[in-house]
Amino acid sequence: MELKKTTCPFCLNGCTSAVVFDGYQYRMEYPAEGAVNKGRLCARGNSASIVVDHPKRLAYPLLDGRPIAWSEAENLVRAWRAAVEPGQIALVYSRGRGTDEARRLCGLAAELGTTHIACGHIEPENAFNARLEGTKDAALTDVEGAQAMLLVGDVFNTSPVAVGRMLDARYADRKNRLVVVDSIRTRQSGFAHVFIQTRPGTEPLALVALAGLLEEKLKVDVDVLAEAAGVTRGQLAAAAAVLGAGAPGFVGAAAHSGRVRHPMLYSLAAQLVALKAKMPFVGFRETALPEAGESFADLRKALVAGEVRLLFWTGGLYPYSYAELFPEAAKAEYRVATSIFVPDPSVPGLVLPVIAELEKAATATTYWGPATREPVATPLSGARDFGSVLELFGRAEEKELPVPAVHKAGTVVEMAKKAGGLAAPPGDGFLLVGEKKAVGLRGFYDAEERVSVSPADAARLELDADSVVRVTSPTATRKFAVTVTEQVPDGVVLVGINVHENRVLFPLVTDEVAGAVTVAPVSVTVEKLTEAVQPPAEHVPDRRGAAYPVN
């Protein structure tokens, strides 16, 4: 049995993981010599063997959900390619495509002469690409030796392996301090010395106010921003006392869909606090994809205007396969996508099978520097590598991607003022907020059939542990069992966003501050159902044993 090591592709922590093939199935191994993780892996990392062995891996092209031969698929792509003008082709890369592959796609766009090339990874975490002038990237030693830490958002669920070092630092000395800023009272807040709970989507306002306390020259109206964020000046002062004491430390932030209203401001505000506290910064996330060509918002406009006739989407199929969220995709006459799994529900157009990240060599970007990935599994028979799929459209050399924009502190303060004016006061309605746990990779371990509400809201709606509610958003409706918990503030309904059924509840919206397409908390109606519905058990993952669900 051969043990093959690689860098885990499921987040940017750069953990060393290994897969063993015992002649029958793949299984995980945990090499202790991994510099970053020392053999530790999170729930997502542990899914690597499941991904390569998955019964729903796509091994043949699909046309409107029907299996076809590769030769037929090749002929179709060539015919579609010939039927449209080069400028009518749109190329989109998303999660799962590496930076080198994005460069190749960029080169292809230049070769074809189309301006329609965009990054389809619209998760708020991609805003961490934007940098604030003067901020420094954190190194592992900064985390290990931290005496003061600020975590914004749910870092514990985004990069659990990195958290081990943070907890070691937190417990190393009684004087060490952890500050958490988040809208949800997550478990992370249970480890915090200072916890600042903001209204959902207003975290950056509290952060800019905190930066204003750290440096008066910024001329921030602390009280106005604090009020808009639903926090007190005293809470911010307590955080400022920790971060401004000159102790070594770092600022870390995590963002995911349905939690953040202004992703760009969120990223820059966290960096602003890091800058003013003279600390390095790290944006915890699952993937890093640079922007190229036009924005996703412009791509949508081009689709609506009929400027795009052939849409080629490669990488993760969110939001491409979500007709409720991205109806513009249907405007393209010809649609080609790549996938490693059989899309469920089925996707119109052509879907080409490609090999998984674990089956190819690549260069990886991590928080702590570059790393390399080695193939740990034999490529699935029938699936092709990305390069050979790209050749169906044309041959192209790699082209450099644009350098992410660098912003100034003054811009962040202005953006915060604008966002402060947009912040809505709490009302009687409900706000649906997303939660992304590391356990939920493609719903392998959790079907996410529950929502969490506060005890006050549960009393208002007369909900108990056996209740079932219907949550209706502008885009979808779903029934949920209810968990009543103090972790959730009043007026908020917290839902996991790993599964397709929950993701469709969140419409794609435009960030009013930076203009980008994002997935923000959304107003919903919640009604108690009186019909007899068997609520799902709380921690009973897929029990069928034979197959794992795929979304």
Partner 1 sequence: MAKRLVLRIDYCVGCRSCEAACRSRFKSEARVRYAEVTAQAYFPLSCRHCAEPLCVAACPFDVIRKDPETGVVSRSSFHCVGCRSCVLACPFGVMDTYLLRSTSQKCSLCQDREAGPRCATTCPTGALQYVEESELAEKKTGVGIVARSPHWRRP
Q: How far apart are CA 92 and CA 118, in angstroms?
A: 5
Choices 121-129, 227-235, 479-487, 498-506; region in contact with partner 1 by CB under 8 A: 479-487
Give the amino acid at 239: A
Among 486, 490, 512, 527, binds partner 1 (CB under 8 A): 486
Which residue, 352, 328, 349, is CA-closest to 116?
A: 328
Closest approach, Cβ 356 to partner 1, in A, equals 15
Verify binding: residue 509, partner 1, rule CB under 8 A.
Answer: no
Verify binding: residue 195, partner 1, rule CB under 8 A.
Answer: yes
Q: Which C-beta is closer to partner 1: that of 80 or that of 341?
A: 341
Query: Which structure tokens are listed for 427?
Result: 């009302």
Q: Which C-beta is closer to partner 1: that of 425 or that of 545?
A: 545
CA 526-531-535 angle, to 5 degrees, is 75
Choices 118-126, 152-160, 311-319, 416-424; region in contact with partner 1 by CB under 8 A: 152-160
Q: How far apart are CA 119 and CA 109, in angstroms?
A: 13
Verify binding: residue 485, partner 1, rule CB under 8 A.
Answer: yes
Closest approach, Cβ 164 to partner 1, in A, equals 4
Q: Which C-beta is closer to partner 1: that of 66 or that of 543?
A: 543
For residue 21, give Cα distances in angstroms to 17, 47, 68, 383, 424.
14, 15, 30, 19, 54
Whether the CB-CB separation of 316 and 95 falls below 8 Å is answered with: yes
Whether the CB-CB separation of 161 and 45 falls below 8 Å is answered with: yes
Q: Which C-beta is closer to partner 1: that of 431 or that of 488?
A: 488
Verify binding: residue 4, partner 1, rule CB under 8 A.
Answer: no
Q: How far apart are CA 431 and CA 419, in angstroms?
A: 18
Closest approach, Cβ 181 to partner 1, in A, equals 13
Closest approach, Cβ 543 to partner 1, in A, equals 6
Element (H, E) at 266: helix 263-276
Closest approach, Cβ 451 to partner 1, in A, equals 15
Give, as ranges, the residues between 200 and 219 that touch partner 1 (CB under 8 A): none
Verify binding: residue 249, partner 1, rule CB under 8 A.
Answer: no
Q: Which C-beta is closer to partner 1: that of 188 or that of 467?
A: 188
Among 84, 307, 487, 528, binds partner 1 (CB under 8 A): 487
Query: What's the Rg (C-alpha) of the chain?
Result: 23
Which residue, 545, 464, 548, 532, is CA-closest to 499?
A: 548
Verify binding: residue 134, partner 1, rule CB under 8 A.
Answer: no
Closest approach, Cβ 256 to partner 1, in A, equals 15
Residues 6+ apart with CB under 8 A from 439: 43, 44, 445, 446
Q: Which C-beta is closer to partner 1: that of 327 or that of 455?
A: 455
Binding mask 528-547 for partner 1 (x = CB under 8 A): ----------xxxxxxxxx-
Q: How far apart are CA 367 and CA 402, in angstroms?
A: 20
Q: Which C-beta is closer to partner 1: that of 26 or that of 326?
A: 26
Verify binding: residue 18, partner 1, rule CB under 8 A.
Answer: no
How many residues bind partner 1 (CB under 8 A)? The answer is 53
Binding mask 27-66 for partner 1 (x = CB under 8 A): xx-x-x----x-xxxxxxxxx-xx----------------
State the helix-helix crossing angle for 263-276 and 203-214, rounded to 10 degrees.
Answer: 20
Which residue, 319, 383, 357, is CA-closest to 45?
A: 357
Binding mask 394-433 for partner 1 (x = CB under 8 A): ----------------------------------------
Q: How far apart are CA 167 and CA 192, in angstroms?
A: 10
Verify binding: residue 158, partner 1, rule CB under 8 A.
Answer: no
Q: What is the DSSP letter of 331?
A: G
Extended beta strands in 489-531, E state: 492-496, 509-510, 517-518, 522-529
Closest approach, Cβ 41 to partner 1, in A, equals 5
Give the amino acid at 551: N
Where does this chain bind partner 1 (CB under 8 A)? Answer: 25, 27-28, 30, 32, 37, 39-47, 49-50, 156-157, 160-161, 163-164, 167-168, 171, 185, 187-193, 195, 437-439, 444-445, 485-487, 538-546, 548
